[in-house]
Amino acid sequence: MHAKTLLRFLKLLLLCAFCALAANLLSACDYARMKDDEAVNTYREAMPEMPKKAIPIGGGLQELREANPEDLRNPTPATPETVALGAEKYGYFCVQCHGAKADGAGTVGQSFAPLPANLTTAGVRQQSDGLLFYKISLGFARHPPLAATVSVNDRWAIVRYIRSLANSGQIRGG
Ligand code: HEC
């Protein structure tokens, strides 16, 4: 290839780059105008007026973090209905790791080290409702925090369910 042809080719390349840059700048201007577009403005509404005291000032996660777990009382009634609710929710949120028999043999859990706890053992049984609630809410060691996933009421109900297992003695304990 002649040096002249090469030079011409390079000039063309430079021109292309310049055009691309210019096109970019132009489209950037379009973005700036988008806020003035009718299609956008039609849906622009003022935020609703916020009533006073709309922001919760108590009962949040921070309060739980600072609480002494032993002071937490299970607010759910100790009834078969609560245990049934806990069993149902356990089936959504815990079974994949802790297993259908709550013995720690859930399929997902097997990739954890340490393995998920056997929830029917004395080690779990001896802990207060408050401590179990605290641990599953905020997480501990390798345990996921579940406060954002499971509602407060469901967490307490699950604790009742776990305790019912531990007390029933039907399932392998230790
Ligand atoms: C993603 C897997 C996973 C899920 C989901 C899970 N766990 Fe766990 N759980 C574990 C693992 C792993 C451990 C052992 C953690 C450790 O010792 O580091 C454990 C341990 C525990 C313990 C033993 C506490 C102790 O003192 O050693 C309790 C109680 C428990 N889990 C309850 C629950 C409950 C109730 C749920 C559902 C609301 C749940 N877990 C959901 C993996 C899970």
Rounded CA separation 133/151 (Å): 11
Q: Any residues with CB less than 8 A from the CB of 131 and at least 6 apart, and which?
A: 69, 70
Question: Which atom of ligand 1 has the smallest separation from the CA of 131?
Answer: 26
Rounded CA separation 170/142 (Å): 28
Q: What is the pLDDT of residue 166?
A: 64
Rounded CA separation 140/134 (Å): 9
Expressed in angstroms and rounded, the spacing between residue 97 Cα and the centre of ligand 1 is: 7
Q: What is the pLDDT of residue 32?
A: 62
User: Ligand 1 pocket, 97 CB below 6 A?
Assistant: yes
Q: What is the pLDDT of residue 172?
A: 41
Quote the tokens at residue 123: 């080690």
Rounded CA separation 44/38 (Å): 10
Residue-wise pLDDT tens for the chain (174 aa)?
Answer: 678 888 898 888 888 888 788 777 766 655 667 778 888 888 888 888 888 777 777 778 889 999 999 999 999 999 999 999 999 999 999 999 999 999 999 999 999 999 999 999 999 989 999 999 999 999 999 999 999 999 999 999 999 999 998 665 444 433
Residue from 89, 94, 156 whose mutation best tests the ligand 1 pocket (most atoms within 8 A of CB): 94
Q: What is the pLDDT of residue 86?
A: 98
Tokens 């080719």 appear where? 9
Tokens 């777990």 appear where? 69
Q: What is the pLDDT of residue 173?
A: 37
User: Ligand 1 pocket, 124 CB below 6 A?
Assistant: yes
Q: Any residues with CB less than 8 A from the CB of 99 and at least 6 apart, and which?
A: 105, 106, 109, 116
Q: What is the pLDDT of residue 174?
A: 36
Quote the tokens at residue 105: 């043999």
User: Ligand 1 pocket, 147 CB below 6 A?
Assistant: no
User: Ligand 1 pocket, 102 CB below 6 A?
Assistant: no
Tokens 């109900």 appear where? 157
Four-CA torsion 132, 137, 140, 145, nearest 10 degrees: 150
Rounded CA separation 133/74 (Å): 9
Single-letter residue type at 145: P
Question: Which atom of ligand 1 has the smallest separation from the CA of 113?
Answer: 12
